[in-house]
Amino acid sequence: MDKIIVFILSIILLVSCNENTKTEEGFLPIKGSNIHYKITGEGEPILLLHGGFLNLDAWDYQITELTDNNYKVIRYSELGHGKTENGKEKLEGVAVIDEFIKKKCNNEPISIVGLSWGGVLATDYTLKYPEKVKKLVLVSPGINGWDWFKKEETREKYKKLQAAYMANDSLKVGALSFDYWIIGAKREASEIDKVVREKLKKMIDDNISLNWGKSKSTLDTLSSIGRLGEIKKPTLIVSGEKDEVDILEIASIYEKGIKNSRREIISDVGHSLNVEKPKIFNKMILDFLTE
């Protein structure tokens, strides 16, 4: 009954701390799945795609500055993440993005910012629907077609994570994911701000508790790694200095493959750099979007 009520009342208007900024929160139905979303502000639309094990709240530290600069910020929780409800039918990530652009942006071109897994989906979408993308921001991105993991030092970590999945050990998967993707190989947990650390840890734990066993959206069947030269849109690639070595190598592949791109590296941060150093990150993307 509760799910029926939520579905019927799928669009809720909430007033944020800024009394002039409203947030529309609801569920977008797509082929049996209900995709949880929030839309804040008015102006030029921008879509934010979060990383694996996180949810739409991974972008909390970006909302105020983007809306203050006249952006309509759209974010949603990927299949198998957050409050999104998976249906029986598998969905392609590009199809979900396209539904949001059709239903919430009047099918007009928008800028897309993708973190990690969100960067994989953003790239797939840009290759499939280049006419619908204005600018592309890839943050600690993965890429469709990468053989996880090529580097020996990260391959062993991946094997441990896969073993935890095979053993159906959700607690271990959560602990290893936090260790690999939030802390990273090049620093200690104590080097990360406690508030940031706890926010991301809770997000991972909550996501595993709510969505264990649920699948993410599927990738495009055409690998993007060999087609980056087809991307003509202005592209910003943002890396964290202390991210995993494979992720840093992927960022280099993007930089070399997309001619109209540039890369920025933020010091002393790891994978979720938009949460660790939001002021630097926000200025970086705002400067790029207004160029």
pLDDT tens across 112-162, in order? 999 999 999 999 999 999 999 999 999 999 999 987 676 777 788 888 989
pLDDT given at position 184? 87
176: domain CATH number is 3.40.50.1820
Q: Which residue has the higher pLDDT, 71 or 21?
A: 71
Q: Which residue has the higher pLDDT, 90 or 158?
A: 90
Does residue 18 surpass a pLDDT of 60? no
pLDDT given at position 185? 81
Q: Which residue has the higher pLDDT, 49 or 184?
A: 49
pLDDT given at position 2? 46
Per the structure, the count of domains in the chain is 1
pLDDT given at position 11? 42
pLDDT given at position 20? 55
Alpha-carbon dihedral sign for residues 137, 284, 80, 67: negative
Distance of alpha carbon 144 from alpha carbon 124, whole angstroms: 8
Q: Supply the mean pLDDT for the chain.
A: 91
**Listed range (56-65, 181-190, 247-256) with the worst mean pLDDT:** 181-190
Does residue 254 surpass a pLDDT of 80? yes
Does residue 241 surpass a pLDDT of 60? yes
Parent domain of 59 = 2-289
pLDDT given at position 122? 98
Distance of alpha carbon 204 from alpha carbon 36, whole angstroms: 17
* Residue 170: other Cβ atoms inside 10 A: 16
Distance of alpha carbon 25 from alpha carbon 28, whole angstroms: 10
Each residue's pLDDT tens digit, 19-67:
457 999 999 999 999 999 999 999 999 999 999 999 999 999 999 999 9
Distance of alpha carbon 103 from alpha carbon 204, whole angstroms: 29
pLDDT given at position 46? 98
Residues of the chain with pLDDT > 70: what percent? 92
